Amino acid sequence: MVHTLTTDAARRSDAISIARVICILGVVYVHAWTGLSGHDLEGLRGTPQDSLRWVLMEIFGRSAVPLLGLISGWLVGGSSRTQNWMRHVGRKTRTILLPMVLWNGLAILFVSGAAWIVGLSAPVPSSTDWMFQELFIVSRNPDINVQMPFLRDLFLCMIAAPLFVRLPGWMLGVIAAMAALCQIMGWGPPVLMRASILFFFIMGIIARRGGLADRMAALPWTVAAPPYALLMSVQLYFSLHPGSVAPGIDLAILDMAVRIAAAVFFWRLSWGLAASVARGMLLRIEPFVFFLFCSHLILIWLGGPVLGALFGKLGSPFYPAYLLVQPLLVLMAVILLGSLLSRASPRLAKLLSGGRLMAA
């Protein structure tokens, strides 16, 4: 019995690491380089290449992200270190808030700098308020590092975590329901940029208390996959045919349902991969994924046009191949940069990776 529990705990730990890899690689598809402006993208809406882009964005990007919030809540719910509020917040400041601000600063330096120096089509500082919002994400989403509101909202959830872990289950359920309502109604800013992050964070704590992680991992594929496949198919249809239904509460409810089904599906997938031949490779990648999450848009802003000159923009014959491999290309660049930085400046590598990268 003890051996079985130890084995399950080890596999669960591996599954969590693998889930991070899958989710964050998927996020790259959401921000993949297209070479087109918003107006030009709308002009290609419904074309085969644009449909491929939407499929990848929805299935591997937006749909996988909720699992990151669930994992964060699950880990907090079982950590005794959460009980000491000052130490807990200090750790999360070093591993979430400070890297977020530093990477936002690097984004302004490199991306806006490239806009000034070589004419890259990218945002440039327009005011002190713009700089402040880009760095700290106080009340609006940033223009360059658009993925960072996740870390911003996660940090706020972490600040409240010592309170959350002390609340009875029914109160956590009320908070989760309120967060879901806020997400559906579009409420949240400027307190939370995405109320769904709070919802999944709280659900992670609830899952820890109820042993739901193991129960979801034990689901057969015939139970874990169909809800996600069905709901995602409906959402993809509406995404690819935006004129078929007016935006509203119904679509917001569908979106939340897809996110919940996706979290179950990708957790089941991660659990399966934790016992597969891919396990070793995925675990070797995991220390780099926080670095990947924080840096990938800088790399896409700067490197996208360079490789785009070879493969072409969205609509070009070779663009689909470029789109499909973008996460792997960015990952290779991150592993190279992270490894070099770990050797050249271990303390800086540790700081920028939230403590994940150490000296090689």
The structure's pTM equals: 0.94
Domain contains 249: yes
How high is the pLDDT of residue 360? Answer: 42
| Residue at 359 is within a domain | no
Tens digit of each residue's pLDDT (9 = 90 or more) over 269-285: 999 999 999 999 999 99
Which residues span the domain enclosing 120?
A: 2-352
- C-alpha to C-alpha distance for 23 and 282, rounded to whole angstroms: 12
Per-residue pLDDT, 37: 85
Q: How far apart are CA 200 and CA 178, in angstroms?
A: 12
> Which residues are bridge partners to 188 per DSSP?
190
Q: Which two tokens stand for residue 177?
A: 């329901």
Between CA 26 and CA 35, with CA 30 as vertex, the angle to 5 degrees is 130
Distance, in Å, from the CA atom of 356 to the CA atom of 353, rounded to the nearest integer, reads 5
Q: What does the alpha-carbon distance between residue 110 and residue 351 come to, in Å, rounded to a whole number?
A: 19
Which pLDDT value is given to residue 232?
Answer: 93
Q: Is 220 left (phi over 0), alpha (psi -120 to 50) or beta?
A: beta
**Greatest CA separation found in the chain?**
64
DSSP 146: T
Indicate the number of domains in the chain: 1
Coil/strand/helix, residue 188: strand
Distance CA 200, CA 218 (A): 20
Q: Is residue 327 part of a domain?
A: yes
Residue-by-residue pLDDT tens, the chain, 360 positions: 555 556 689 999 999 999 999 999 999 999 999 999 888 888 888 899 999 999 999 888 877 789 999 999 999 998 888 889 999 999 999 999 999 999 999 999 999 999 999 999 999 999 999 999 999 999 999 999 999 999 999 999 999 999 999 999 999 999 999 999 999 999 999 999 999 999 999 999 999 999 999 999 999 999 999 999 999 999 988 888 877 666 788 889 999 999 999 999 999 999 999 999 999 999 999 999 999 999 999 999 999 999 999 999 999 999 999 999 999 999 999 999 999 999 999 999 999 999 998 744
Q: Is the residue at 105 inside a domain? A: yes
Report if residue 112 sits inside a domain.
yes
Contact 19, 71 (CB under 8 A): yes
Is there a domain that residue 15 lies in? yes
3-state secondary structure of 190: strand
Q: What are the pLDDT digits (tens) for 110-143?
A: 999 999 999 999 999 999 999 999 999 999 999 9
Q: Which amino acid is at 101?
A: V
Q: How many alpha carbons fall within 13 Å on the CB side of residue 331? A: 22
Residue with token string 């989760």 = 176
Which residue bears the tokens 């800086």? 348
Token code pair at residue 237 = 């249809």
DSSP 8-state class, residue 83: G
Half-sphere exposure of 304 (CA within 13 A, CB side): 25
Residue 241, Ramachandran bin (φ over 0: left; ψ between -120 and 50: alpha; else beta)? beta
User: Residue 149 falls within a domain, yes or no?
Assistant: yes
Question: Which residue, 141, 105, 139, is CA-closest to 31?
Answer: 141
How far apart CA 328 and CA 339 sit, in angstroms, is 16
Phi, psi of 46 (to 5 degrees): 95, -10
State residue 64's pLDDT score.
77
Residue 357 lies in a domain: no
